[in-house]
Structure 1
Amino acid sequence: MSIFSGLFRSRDKPTNSTTGSSYRFFFGGTTSGKAVTERSAMQMTAVYSCVRILSEAIAGLPMHLYRYGEGGSKEKAINHPLYFLLHDEPNPEMTSFVFRETLMTHLLLWGNAYAQIIRNGKGEVVALYPLMPNRMTVNRDENGELYYEYQTSQDEAHTMNGSRVRLQPSDVLHVPGLGFDGLVGYSPIAMAKNAIGMAIACEEYGAKFFANGATPGGILEHPGVVKDPERVRESWNSAFGGSSNANKVAVLEEGMKYTPISISPEQAQFLETRKFQINEIARIFRIPPHMIGDLEKSSFSNIEQQSLEFVKYTLDPWVCRWEQSMQRALLSPDEKKDYFFKFNVDGLLRGDYQSRMNGYAVGRQNGWMSANDIRELENLDRIPEEEGGDLYLINGNMTKLKDAGIFAASAQTQEEADETKETQTEPEPEDGRTRFRKKEAL
């Protein structure tokens, strides 16, 4: 029995749907009157763009399994089975890019990403399969131990048997998002449902506005009594309703008059509202507006800085979640001492060509970068060691770092030798002294 069983006994199966691994309370109606779910939200172009940008960014980053070496060095553990699984193919049905893209999409929409860990008889990981977050619950048993319960479906790969399957934490790779209890994350879509619902309402209003011929609603006035008002209404709608009938000229008979009563979209600030909702959705996912097509406040002077901030403040926290979750779930206690996962974001932090070359020049001239270090960062072939590709140089005469003091030491030794020779020289004859004085005078 776990020593923490007594501490967590009160947090067993949650009774309130806003706690634990269930957040059904948040989905459904919004103040705008539109139902918001993870699937309806993806029909919004701004939500789809944000999810796609983050998912493709995480999926496209180079990810490697490293092993600690002597003296604090590190090397790629290409012979470890996990290296191939995460770098190339997590399972026979998908590539590493598709696997990470799928899990990142789940993480952004549901707040959690789950994958089933398939192990062989030795306990080694041989495959990883994504699991749908909306069918997964995380709870504690009577001893306070965590377990995962998954509701299977006919549309999935049959890696499980039974309709409801209980999985141990060692069988699940779980990447949680921002949450309240540290165990499960909560959906950004559910938390921001009112903002997304308003965006859906604005889009629907605009679509209906153009579907009705872009003509404000109004009243048909007749000086007498209309015997069949329904027929008149249908006749008007069939003649002037719809975008295909926009701007047609209406001919009114028997003194009939048309009076518009609706306000225009400009007066209702329709376009401004739609633009604000796009920025609101970008704020939910912490995406710079220029990355989803809003270049209003972007310029050549700040767009590069915004891109760097995207890597630092948006991608880095997600990368940390991935690295630490994989290390916790996929590595054994002994392997955690020697191995670690690492996403390489250096390619996204690279500046323009001139800035990179200036930075390389500073590193090369000050002795902390070799030619091969620079060529590796630029994805170029290495210079053979015998040709000096691994030499570290310093500014000045471009001397080897280990030989930096040789010339100074030799010059000092020569100077001391000259002084010693001068003090030990025997007095010359008078003629010699005279010649010496003349030479000195010259």
Structure 2
Amino acid sequence: MSFSGAFGLMFASKRSVSSDSSFFGSYGGFFSMGSSNSYGMKPKTALKLSAFYNGVDQISNDIAKIPFAVYQKDGKNRIARTEHPANKLIATTPNYLMTSFVFRKTMAISYLIRGNALAKINFDQKGFPVSTDFINWDCVQDIRLKKGELLYDVRGYDKPLLASEVLHFKNFSHNGIVGVGVITYAAQQFGIAIEVQNFSATNLQNKGVRQGVIQTDKTIEKGKDKIIAGWKAAMGERSPDRIVVLDDGFKFEPINITPQEAQIIEQARFSIEDIARWLNIAPHKIKSLQQSTNNNIEQQSMDHVSDTIQPHVTNFEQEYAKKLFTSFELQNGYYIRANIDSLLRADIKSRTEAHARAVLTGWKHRNEIRELEDLNEGPELLNEYLTPVNTFTESQIDNNLKEDGKQ
């Protein structure tokens, strides 16, 4: 099956229940769609909430822009293996249609919303990975265990895909095989937020005038239908200066709740905070700054990296390593590393201060700092580690005392 075929299959038939040991079973919607809930919440509906859309966009952008690379642990050394075929897939070109940023962002969006992200790994004749093709999660019909082999039944493929042939990033999971979409559990809160959003739009569209009754002290035997039709016709106009005239003591009394009674603003703010909790993201990252100050927003940004992004990145690192390396390479110290420090590079003042401390305390040399800043390597002298003149190890103190004694 071609990449475009897998990507283009946007709608799948109902997930099947295999006669083998299925990990979907009768929970296809529960594990992915988030559709088995009273609100019938679907991903496209949930994304109409600006806070949810922005939260997913923020996290997926952070996952996508972090540099991933192949390394090998050789004793005490860490060697960058840029020549390894997997390095091209995760660092630059996963396939001929996508850059590494677009591919990882697409995977991260599916991973965050659906709880799962799937891609087929294509290998060359020597068994090295050469490309990874995104598979829309709607195309996955079943994941089952058959004779000890985990199989993926995917629409458009003639035969099931082996677990070793796919990258499968799983978010929250009950069984470690299939992830659960956040919408599955957040459907009720998202449904309320959608209703508040729709109520606000309808209220604005109707200038605050909704259902009501026309009252009068007189008894009207005939003509009620004409009064109702006249009111609807007048209030149905789109003109901003629409005017209705009520004769003979008629009064209109609305029976809908007012925005003040519904506390629309407070409910909308609560929805933003609730969405932040579901996505495990700081409210200020989705543009809610009520609880943020100049003093705590920097700490919140660091917490975002360590608490929100780091677990997802570790998940990606381990799945990449498990599927793109042979067992021999894993035994010989090959691993995937994401440079998560890149997320903290925006503040040049904090970055330069951190670099200065690293150099002056001797745990990085100056050429390493130049490499982090995408600068060419400097003179050989810059490869030497600096040591503070007022700091000595025990052996240095002993040597100095011996030398002093000889003098």
Bin for the TM-score computed over the shorter chain: 0.7 to 0.9
- Whether 1:149 aligns to 2:169 is no
| Cα contact 1:11–1:140 (8 A) shared by 2 | yes
Q: Say which SS state the counterpart of residue 146 (structure 1) adopts.
A: strand
> Do the aligned partners of residues 375 and 144 (structure 1) sit closer, same or farther apart at CA in structure 2, a change above 3 Å counting?
closer
Q: Structure 1's 397 and 318: CA in aligned 2 closer, same or farther, altered over 3 A?
A: closer
- 1:358 is displaced (CA, Å) by 4.1
Tell me which residue corresponds to 2:46: 41
Give 1:367's aligned amino acid. G
Match of 1:215? 209
Name the CA shift for 1:170/1:354 in 2 (closer, same or farther; >3 Å).
closer
Mark the CA change 1:212 to 1:101 in structure 2 (over 3 Å): closer, same or farther: same
Are positions 1:266 and 2:260 aligned together? yes
Equivalence map 1:10-21=2 (5 Å): 12-13=21-22, 17-18=26-27
How many angstroms does 1:316 deviate by?
0.8
- 1:367 pairs with 2:372: no
Q: Specify the SS of the correspondent of 1:84.
A: helix
- Which of 18, 39, 59 is the equivalent residue of 1:54? 59
Q: State the distance in 2 between where 1:107 and 1:123 align.
A: 27
Q: 1:289-438, aligned counterparts within 5 Å?
A: 289-337=283-331, 338-350=333-345, 352-385=347-380, 388-396=381-389, 411-414=404-407
- What secondary structure sits across from 1:115 in the alignment? strand
- C-alpha deviation, 1:26, in angstroms: 4.8
Aligned to 2:228: 233
Q: Which has the larger radius of gyration?
A: 1
2:228 counterpart of 1:245? no
2:70 partner SS: strand
Q: Distance in 2 between matches of 1:285 and 1:24?
A: 16
The alpha carbon displacement at 1:323 in A equals 0.8
How many aligned residue pairs are there? 387
Q: CA RMSD in A?
A: 3.0
Q: 1:364 to 1:85 in 2, by over 3 A?
A: closer
Letter in 1 for 2:384: L
Distance 2:367 2:89 in 1: 29
Structure 1 residues 67 and 276: CA distance shift in structure 2, 3 A:
same
Separation (CA, whole Å) in 1 of partners of 2:377 and 2:369: 9
Normalising by the residue count of structure 1, what TM-score does the alignment of the two structures yield?
A: 0.79
CA distance in 2, matches of 1:265, 1:285: 28
Name which structure has the greater RCO, CA cutoff 8 Å, separation 6+.
Answer: 2
SS at match of 1:394: coil
1:197 paired residue among 178, 191, 202: 191
> What are the residue-to-residue correspondences of 1:22-41 with 2, within 5 Å?
23=31, 26-30=34-38, 34-41=39-46
Shift of 1:275: 1.3
For 2:163 and 2:183, locate their aligned partners in 1 and report how far apart those are by CA, in whole Å. 26
Q: Distance in 2 between matches of 1:396 and 1:122?
A: 54
CA drift of 1:369 comes to: 2.8
Q: C-alpha offsets along residues 212-240 of structure 1, whole Å, 9 cap, x if unaligned? A: 22224321124242634343223223323
| 1:104 alignment partner in structure 2 | 108
1-structure distance, mates of 2:60, 2:280: 13
Task: Indicate conservation of the 8 Å contact 2:34/2:41, yes or no.
Answer: no
2:182 to 188, 199, 202: 188
Alpha-carbon distance, 1:73 to partner? 1.0
Which runs of 5 or more structure 2 residues have no equivalent in the other structure?
1-18
Deviation by residue 1:248-284 (Cα, 9 ceiling, x = unmatched):
5542113322223333111221221111111111110
CA distance, structure 1, for counterparts of residue 397 and residue 367 of structure 2: 21
For residues 120 and 28 of structure 1, the distance between their equivalents in structure 2, rounded to whole angstroms, comes to 41
| 3-state SS, counterpart of residue 382 of structure 2 | coil
Partner Cα separation in structure 1 for residue 187 and residue 117 of structure 2:
20
Give deviations 1:297-330, integer Å, cap 9, x for gaps.
1010000111111110111110111111111111
Residue 157 of structure 1: aligned partner: none
Displacement of 1:42 in angstroms is 1.4
Any gaps of 5 or more consecutive residues in structure 1? 1-9, 153-159, 415-442
With over 3 angstroms needed to count, the CA separation of the structure-2 counterparts of 1:184 and 1:413, relative to structure 1, is same
> Which residue of the partner structure matches residue 113 of structure 1?
117
Per the normalisation by structure 2, the TM-score is: 0.86
Match status 1:74 vs 2:78? yes
> Could you say what secondary structure the match of 2:330 adopts?
helix
Change (3 A) 1:390 1:409: farther
In structure 1, the residue matched to 2:90 is: 86
**Identity level (%):** 32
